[in-house]
């Protein structure tokens, strides 16, 4: 059995230049990352009728694979990661999100009420380890969750896909999140499947609410599967441009200009699909 990455070295060391490139260019990893991020966004329960792009924090953003999914769904994002090499790959990929180098265990360096939501794919489990003598996992988890709580709006959610090793780690992470002020809990998709089973920590700032139904359970059998095309057809019927269409991209670029953000000029190539991997 292969060792888990977090057991081999701290993330800033494990994800060196070679590992960062391998991670980003592995088609299997890309597919899994996209699927898990799409599920995390679904669990955020953002208002589908809100035309204003949401500002989402991507914790442990790596090379920006999840950020590309957020961009596809029309959101603006900021990413933070401890691996400088991963962030360098994100810059090479010309992701739209702003990037920040930082250790999540030292807290989130953002102003209060900045984000409409947060997602994190395969990063939270790194905080269970004490990679240095000064590291205390419960304290680092609390520092992370308390500063994240403050950086979110008061009706926001944060969704973390992670890989706990045992029930003690699940208890640790949930207890520290609740101590920091969050409500919520664990959603386990496909709990009876060895390969498809996925853990999501769903946290809420706006008070107690029912947790979303997990996939692959009796409770979810009556749910209608999310269909992006159906939603896009509905938006077209309401007179709104399709996401990723030329009109939608031009409108998004104009909003960025009005906000004072540096934006590439429009051209005949604007919104044209690129070949190869994103």
Render pLDDT for 206-246 as a digit per residue (tens, 0 to 9).
Answer: 888 889 999 988 665 444 343 444 445 444 444 455 555 66
Can you tell me the distance from the alpha carbon of 204 to that of 152, in angstroms, rounded to the nearest whole number? 10
Can you tell me the distance from the alpha carbon of 126 to that of 130, in angstroms, rounded to the nearest whole number? 9
Q: What would the mean pLDDT of 165-188 be, rounded to a whole number?
A: 95
Per-residue CA distances from 13 to 49, 127, 186, 232 (Å): 42, 15, 29, 42
pLDDT digits (tens, 9 = 90+) for 253-273: 787 777 778 877 777 666 655
Cα distance from N-terminal residue to C-terminal residue, the chain:
31
Q: Does 261 reside within a domain?
A: no
Identify the CA nearest to 231 among candidates 223, 243, 222. Answer: 243
The answer to whether the beta carbons of residues 107 and 146 sit under 8 Å apart is: yes
Percentage of the chain exceeding pLDDT 70: 84
CATH number at 28 reads: 3.40.50.150
Phi first, then psi: what are they for 59, rounded to 5°? -90, 120
- b/e map 5-25, b = 16+ CB within 10 Å: bbeeebbbebbeeebbbebbe
The answer to whether the beta carbons of residues 155 and 116 sit under 8 Å apart is: no
Q: Does 156 reside within a domain?
A: yes
Q: Does 86 reside within a domain?
A: yes
Burial class (CB in 10 A: 0-12, 13-18, 19+), 247: exposed
Minimum mean pLDDT range among 78-82, 128-132, 197-201 = 128-132
What pLDDT is recorded for position 268? 64
pLDDT greater at residue 197 or residue 219: 197
Domain, as residue range, for 21: 5-207+219-236
Q: How many domains does the chain have?
A: 1
Percentage of the chain exceeding pLDDT 90: 55
pLDDT digits (tens, 9 = 90+) for 23-74: 888 888 889 999 999 999 999 998 877 778 899 999 999 999 999 999 999 9
Q: Does 187 reside within a domain?
A: yes
275 band by pLDDT with thresholds 50, 70 and 90: very low
Q: Does 276 reside within a domain?
A: no
Q: Does 147 reside within a domain?
A: yes
What pLDDT is recorded for position 215? 93
Strand pairing of 183-189 and 98-101?
A: unpaired
Q: Does 258 reside within a domain?
A: no
Q: Does 259 reside within a domain?
A: no
Can you tell me the distance from the alpha carbon of 73 to that of 47, in angstroms, rounded to the nearest whole number? 12
What pLDDT is recorded for position 57? 98
Burial class (CB in 10 A: 0-12, 13-18, 19+), 35: middle
């Amino acid at each position: 059995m292969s060792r888990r990455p977090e057991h081999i070295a701290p993330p800033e060391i494990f994800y060196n230049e070679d590992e960062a490139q391998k991670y980003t260019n592995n088609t299997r990893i890309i597919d899994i990352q996209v699927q898990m991020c799409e599920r995390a966004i679904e669990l955020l329960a953002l208002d589908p009728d809100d035309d204003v792009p949401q500002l989402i924090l991507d914790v442990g953003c790596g090379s920006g694979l999840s950020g590309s999914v957020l961009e596809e769904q029309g959101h603006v994002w900021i990413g933070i990661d401890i691996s400088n090499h991963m962030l360098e790959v994100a810059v090479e990929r010309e992701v739209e999100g702003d990037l920040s180098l930082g250790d999540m265990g030292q807290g989130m360096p953002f102003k209060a009420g900045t984000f409409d939501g947060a997602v994190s794919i395969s990063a939270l489990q790194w905080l269970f380890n004490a990679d240095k003598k000064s590291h205390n996992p419960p304290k680092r988890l609390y520092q992370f969750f308390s500063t994240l709580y403050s950086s979110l709006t008061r009706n926001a959610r944060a969704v973390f896909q992670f890989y706990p090793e045992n029930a003690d780690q699940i208890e640790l992470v949930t207890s520290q999140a609740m101590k920091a002020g969050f409500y919520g809990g664990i959603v386990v998709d496909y709990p009876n499947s060895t390969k498809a089973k996925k853990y999501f920590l769903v946290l809420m700032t706006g008070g107690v609410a029912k947790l979303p139904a997990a996939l692959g359970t009796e409770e979810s059998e009556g749910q209608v599967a999310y269909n992006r095309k159906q939603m896009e057809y509905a938006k077209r019927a309401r007179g709104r441009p399709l996401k990723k269409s030329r009109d939608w991209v031009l409108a998004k670029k104009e909003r960025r200009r009005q906000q004072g953000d540096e934006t590439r000029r429009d051209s005949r190539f604007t919104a044209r699909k690129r070949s190869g991997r994103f």
